[in-house]
Every structure is written in C-alpha cells, then in structure tokens.
Amino acid sequence: MIFVDSSLPQPDGTVGGDKVQHLAGWNYVRPSGPVEPVLQTADGLTLGSSRQDVLDVYGDQAQEVASGAAGGGSLGVFLGDFGDLVFDFDTDGDVAVMESGQVCD
C-alpha cells in the first residue's frame, strides 16, 4: 500500500484542497502460502480468480494491457476515475497480482 500526503484527487482528475494522508495505491500479490483474511474486490474477485471470472464481472471494460511479471498477460479495468484495477495472470490464467492507483516498481 502507498500512502501519500497530498491534496485528494477527484474523479474528474482535478486535485485541490488541503493536504491529507490517503491511500494512493495498492498491490496484492499471491504469496507462497495461505493468507488470512483473503482480500477481494466488491465483486468477489481475488488472487486465484480466473481470467474468465474477471471477464464475467467486467465484460468489455476489461482490456488487455502491458503484461506483468506473472507471465500470463494482464487485463486493465479503467472506470474513468481513480478506481482503476489491473489483474496480472499466471501461466495457468489465474490472477497472480491485483493492483490499483499509484504503485511503485
């Protein structure tokens, strides 16, 4: 997770107002062992969900984007605000990484 001290971004892309600490991005990567609690999107997608699961939830909103390191391609969902999501798939077609917002490489 990345927290920043800056003005809050607005859905229309503008930024203004007082500086406040807020979550600017997150990255959820499949670990080598079980993790509790299991984090998931509001639609129930989580690490291990299939490519088809992502397409079933987002349909045409899910677009191919530059592939992540997991080796199975990536789908991005861009909703026109700061609620973007990227799903990176492993070679079996299962979600290995989920990320949103500003992330560090």
pLDDT at 63: 92
What is the per-residue pLDDT across 49-66, written as a single tens digit (0 to 9) for each? 999 999 999 999 999 988
**What is the arrangement of strands in the sheet containing 71-77, beginning at the earlier edge strand?**
2-9, 15-29, 95-101, 85-90, 71-77, 62-65
Identify the pLDDT of residue 97.
86
C-alpha span between 92 and 27 (Å, rounded): 20
Report domain extents, the chain: 36-101
Chain segment 19-45, per-residue pLDDT in tens: 765 455 556 666 656 667 777 888 899
Q: Quote the Cα angle for 36-74-23, to 5°.
A: 50
Task: Report DSSP letters for 85-100, one per residue.
Answer: EEEEEETTSBEEEEEE
Q: Which pLDDT score, from 0 to 100, does residue 89 have? A: 93
